[in-house]
Amino acid sequence: MPLTLFEKIWNRHVVVEEEGELLLHVDRAFFHEGSSHAFDKLEQQGRTIARPKQVFAFNDHYVPTTGRENGVAGIANAEIRNMVIKLQTNAARHGITLFGIDDPRQGILHIVPPEQGITQPGLLICGADSHTSTHGAFGCLSFGIGASDMMHVMATQTIWQRAQKTMRITIDGKLGFGVSPKDVILAIIAKIGVAGGTGHVLEYAGSTFSHMSMEGRMTVCNMSIEAGARAGMVAPDDTTYAYMQGRPYAPKGVQWDAALALWQQLPSDEGARFDSEVSLNAPDIAPMVTWGTNPEQGGPVTGVVPNPRDVKDEIAAQEMAAAIDYQALTPGMALSDITVDKVFIGSCTNARIEDIRAAAAVARLGRAVIPAWVVPGSQLVKRQAEQEGLDKILIAANFEWREPGCSLCTAINGDQLQPGERCASTSNRNFKGRQGTGGRTHLLSPAMAAAAALKGRLTDVRDLLKGA
Amino acid sequence: MNPFTTITAVAAPIDEPNVDTNQLCPTRFNKVPRGPEHARILFHDRRFNADGSEKEHLLNVAPFNRAQIIVADRNWGSGSSRESAVYALYEFGIRCVIASSFGDIHANNCYKNGLLPVVLSDAECAALRTQLREHPGSTISVDLAAQTVIDPQGKTHRFEIHPVRKKCLLEGLDDIARTVQYRERLDAFEAAYKSERPWLYADAV
Ligand code: SF4
């Protein structure tokens, strides 16, 4: 019987089946400072980590993005410092690998493992963070779990799961000028909705994805959770293998050949059946921005803020009106008339080298007229960008070049919006208060964010690039 | 984990779709160790001003301040995987949330903490919320063994639940106890798996 990529990975990881619940082997587990509840539970029950070599910890959520010269001791806020120290202590006590604040490989938990070759095709990965879906870009099954499930993974290196449905999202064709993978995923979510993928694992297929870089695939898979799906995946191919070869944790020599032979069997078979199918046409996708307070509330930058009166369903209309009200917008106003106070280029969605390149390519066309932060996703990204001179371009254009971490994406390290502040952000969530209580968020691509910085308003980056 | 069997309690209607876990527990409270203070963390930024005084919010006022059931809309608990969102609900006193759909991770976190997520249709949820708004303080009964919700008007609504989740909730069982019974099969699985993919266990080079 023809199988999907998801089914092949799933089947290979089943240890036990009990009344329709399956006990699955977990290859890798990831967590961060915010995962302290899982450790607390583990200790309360007097348990230890079963397979410490398969568990990795990251300092990202709570680390400051400036003044990092003094490492942990340099963290001014005592509460935050304690969170970072607590993770260090827990990692040391349990013998797990920590990519700590001082580590030259430090960065966000969804950016470092691919860079290090820890993320590989065919694996089952669990992370104490919903954007663990990012790793699916490598053709693995990767999803976020809560503290109780994480404790179970730590104690047993397995997880109980029920069967998932599959949805294939096919996009063919070439993306238009100025259109990026971020626009692709925002367009997908605008189409299927924030609950459209609930209960499903998404597979992104079609020529648009086979021509997409690993960085781009990671951006798309990252936001699968924003469509309600726990996981998203792209079949591994030569782009995947080329990215992986030579990475520190990637197999070497004869083991590489053995791994490759396994990986090449993973892509969905011809004729494999998905529970649902969705398709989009790449050339139809324009640069996107969100206007509302969830990721489906967005559209092409050339559009306007919608009018709740045009919506038939009463509840949907109320929901739209509430979002427009929170965002302090008016129905019918052009999206490109929305002025912003701040720009954030960063997060596990868009803080990889290609994202920094895209931002710099726009930044060089002018000067930021509002505070604009660039927060690379990892020390590796930061160094690479500096080697390419991108930091200089950005700084010359009045952007701020900071140290790697989650930063303004989730606003718990001290970086945050003030009430009423409006931010053009490359992160993944525009929920009320996500970037700071009372803050307002518009999601967009790195190039679009840089364009917003130059103009002080949401701007169609194509107009800027065309003029260049 | 405390078991869940039956409950008859005041229910609070929350007429808002897509209530994400960041609303249930704002991010800055993630680091708070689980405890009674989570009762105040629930919907914190909607319920309290910066100076700690109360805002106008359904859950701040009687009879809803003693609600043990929430009737919500669709896509309840979307967003972040934070389990602290469930701690906030639980410590406030909520034992059951009824919605037409749930964020996957959040629903799973509910099960793991003795809180029952019940899926009813959009229409049923809307009807329940209307009844609760029109008769504040009226109660709903939930019977897990029978898989039923009895609304304030006495009408019975049936819901589906996976048999294993049902059993774990009814008995207050946690998953690790289940898993360790399979020690031998786990070991055999791992041995075969490791010999197939030895590179997965190597150090970085
Ligand atoms: S960058 Fe944002 S979304 Fe990504 S892991 Fe950090 S907090 Fe979560």
Q: Kindly give the distance from the C-alpha atom of residue A306 to the centroid of ligand 1, in angstroms, as a whole number.
A: 29
Closest CB to A15: pick one of B18, B75, B189: B189
Distances (CA, A) of B125 to A173, A288, A347, B13, B109: 42, 33, 36, 9, 21
Cβ of A130 within 8 Å of Cβ of B112? The answer is no
Q: Coil, strand, or helix at residue B11?
A: strand
H-helix or E-strand containing A171?
A: strand A165-172
Tell me the pLDDT tens digit for each residue of B107-166.
999 999 999 999 999 999 999 999 999 999 999 999 999 999 999 999 999 999 999 999
Strand order in the sheet with A141-144: A97-99, A55-58, A28-32, A124-127, A141-144
Which amino acid does the sequence have at A246? Answer: G
- Tell me the shortest Cα–Cα distance from B109 to chain A, in angstroms: 6
Residue range A323-367, pLDDT digits in tens:
999 999 999 999 999 999 999 999 999 999 999 999 999 999 999
Atom 6 (ligand 1) nearest CA: A406
Which of B179, B196, B203 to mutate to probe the A interface, most A CBs <10 Å? B179
User: What are the pocket residues of ligand 1 if the criterion is a CB atom closer than 6 Å to any ligand atom?
Assistant: A 60-61, 108-110, 129, 131, 347-348, 406, 409-410, 427-428
Question: Which among B38, B3, B11 has a CA at the least distance from the CA of B120?
Answer: B11
Per residue in A219-260, pLDDT tens?
A: 999 999 999 999 999 999 999 999 999 999 999 999 999 999
**Residue A90 in tokens:** 């827990």
Chain B residue with minimum CA distance to A26: B190
Q: How many residues does chain B have?
A: 205
Q: What pLDDT is stored for residue B185 in this prediction?
A: 96
Question: Can you give the pLDDT at residue A273?
Answer: 97
Instruction: Write down the pLDDT at residue A349.
Output: 98
Residue A12: how many CB atoms within 10 A of its CB?
A: 18
Sign of the torsion angle spanned by Cα atoms B160, B162, B163, B167: negative
Q: DSSP state, A341?
A: S
Closest of B53, B18, B23, B17 to residue B41, by C-alpha = B23
A468, pLDDT greater than 90: no
- The answer on pLDDT for B175 being more than 90 is no
- A409-438 burial code (b ≥16 CB/10 A, e <16): bbbbbbbbbeeebbbbbbbbbbbbbbbbbe
CB pairs under 8 A between A and B: 166
Q: Is there a contact between B23 and A162 if contact means CB atoms under 8 Å apart?
A: no
**Closest-CA distance of chain B to residue A283, Å:** 30
Q: What is the pLDDT of residue A30?
A: 97
Number of residues assigned to chain A = 468
d(C-alpha A159, C-alpha A402), whole Å:
37
ipTM tops 0.85:
yes
Are the Cβ atoms of A116 and B204 closer than 8 angstroms? yes
The reported pLDDT for the residue numbered B177 is 84
Q: Beta-strand (E) ranges in A291-365? A: 298-300, 342-345
Supply the pLDDT for residue A144. 96
State mean pLDDT over A38-58.
Answer: 92
Nearest residue to A194 via CA among B109, B102, B107, B120? B102
